[in-house]
Every structure is written in structure tokens, then in C-alpha cells.
Amino acid sequence: MKPVIALTKGRLEKQFLAFLESLNYDIQPLKEKGRKLQVETEHFYAVFAKGVDVATYVEHGIADIGIVGEDILLEFEPDVYDLLPLPFGKCRLAVAGEQKAENKFAKQRIATKFPNITTKYFRERGKSVDIVKLEGSVELAPLLGLADDIVDIVETGNTLRENGLVVKEEMLSISARCIANRNSLKLKKAILAPLIDSFRIEEVAI
């Protein structure tokens, strides 16, 4: 029996494949998947989903393990075991906006895909803000006057730069994480341990 890993599609997927390759896993079936959403490899079955759904599949035990951004864990707090950080998907969460813009709204209005993280962040600083929930291209909101600022992920900073926005406050650094279903960890330990242990890379301090 092989374990099931749920993988976040898109950017994290590419970085996870490169990580697997660096660990000498045969990733050919994953590279050749085309539009298929389930792929069998030598060591595991892979299923591909959006980040929050990866957490849901793991929470329900459909997938034993998940590869997901820490932002998803912070925003949705799924009932999963947060096993270990992975050495990719490194980025920051930040408040960003136009350099000199005065706030347009009486109460600072923030557009974001992460309403829970944002509310908590400002509440902890004794600040009440209005939140507009968006599903993507959040950088548009201050440019079009929907919000004063945004809370979003910054990786290379290109999206902010190319849209004339700047980081106003660094919130926290995040990375990809390996999560696991709580029961799978107990019941399928023998088949999960080798996989999980191979992901446990000691990062070299510079």
C-alpha cells in the first residue's frame, strides 16, 4: 500500500517536484501528468488540488500527507498535524499599498485573500480595520480605489513593483509545510515514516 500525498497545484507544485528530484525520487510520472489530477509514482499516489482543498483532503483522511503553504494553515486552521517546514515556498505576508497615498476611507480598508490572518494581526495591535475579501489579483484593489491597502503574499516582490505598490509592514515569514492526517500518522506509520523522514532536511545555516 502506498501513501496518498495531496499537492498544492501551481507554484508550490513546481517547487515540490524540484525538491523531490533533489532527493532522487523519480518524478517523471508527475511531470507527464498533463491535466490528470491523480498520478501514481513508485513511492506514493499524488493528487493535485488548490491549497485550502489540500488541507481539507488531509483533514478528512483522503490524503495521508499534504504539501501546503503555511498561509493556508494560518488562515483556515485545519485540524491536521503540522509535521515540518519544507525548504521551499519561502515568502512573506505583508501589508502593502501605494507609497504616499493617504487613506481614502475613514477606517483603513484592507483587501485580502486572508481575512482571518488580517483581522488577527490588526487586533493584536489594537487596530480595527475594514476588510474586503478578494480571491486573487489583490494588488488591483488599492489601484482601483476598492481599498487603502492589501495584505498578501510577497515572494519576489515583482507583482508589487510592477503595479507601483510597496511593502508598508512586514507581517511574517512563511514557507511550504508538510502536513499529515492525525489517524494516518498512527495507523500508517510504517509506510509514512520513510517518506516523511526523507523530507526532513536540515537547513544549513549561513
In this structure, how many other beta carbons lie within 10 angstroms of the beta carbon of residue 19?
Answer: 20
Are the CB atoms for 41 and 31 separated by under 8 Å? Answer: no
141 lies in the site for ligand PRP, by CB under 6 A: no
154 lies in the site for ligand PRP, by CB under 6 A: yes
- Cβ proximity to ligand PRP, 53 vs 152, nearer residue: 152
Euclidean distance between the first and the last CA atom of the chain, given in angstroms as a whole number? 40
Q: Which of 65, 94, 152, 178 binds ligand PRP (CB under 6 A)?
A: 152
Burial 167-196 (b: 16+ CB within 10 A, else e): eeeebeebebbbbbbeebbeebeeebeebb
Q: Can you give the length of the chain in residues?
A: 206
Q: Which of 32, 144, 158, 206 binds ligand PRP (CB under 6 A)?
A: 158
Q: Which of 137, 173, 183, 198 binds ligand PRP (CB under 6 A)?
A: 137
CB of 166 to ligand PRP, least distance (A): 12
CB of 128 to ligand PRP, least distance (A): 24
CB of 50 to ligand PRP, least distance (A): 10
Query: Which parts of 20-79 interact with ligand PRP (CB under 6 A)?
Result: none
- Cβ proximity to ligand PRP, 47 vs 138, nearer residue: 138
Q: Which of 101, 61, 69 minimizes the C-alpha distance to 85?
A: 69
155 lies in the site for ligand PRP, by CB under 6 A: yes
Distances (CA, A) of 127 to 35, 120, 124: 45, 10, 7
Q: In what order do the strands lie in the sheet with 109-112?
A: 130-133, 109-112, 149-154, 91-97, 166-174
159 lies in the site for ligand PRP, by CB under 6 A: yes
Segment lying near ligand PRP (by CB under 6 A), choices 39-47, 100-108, 156-164, 173-181: 156-164
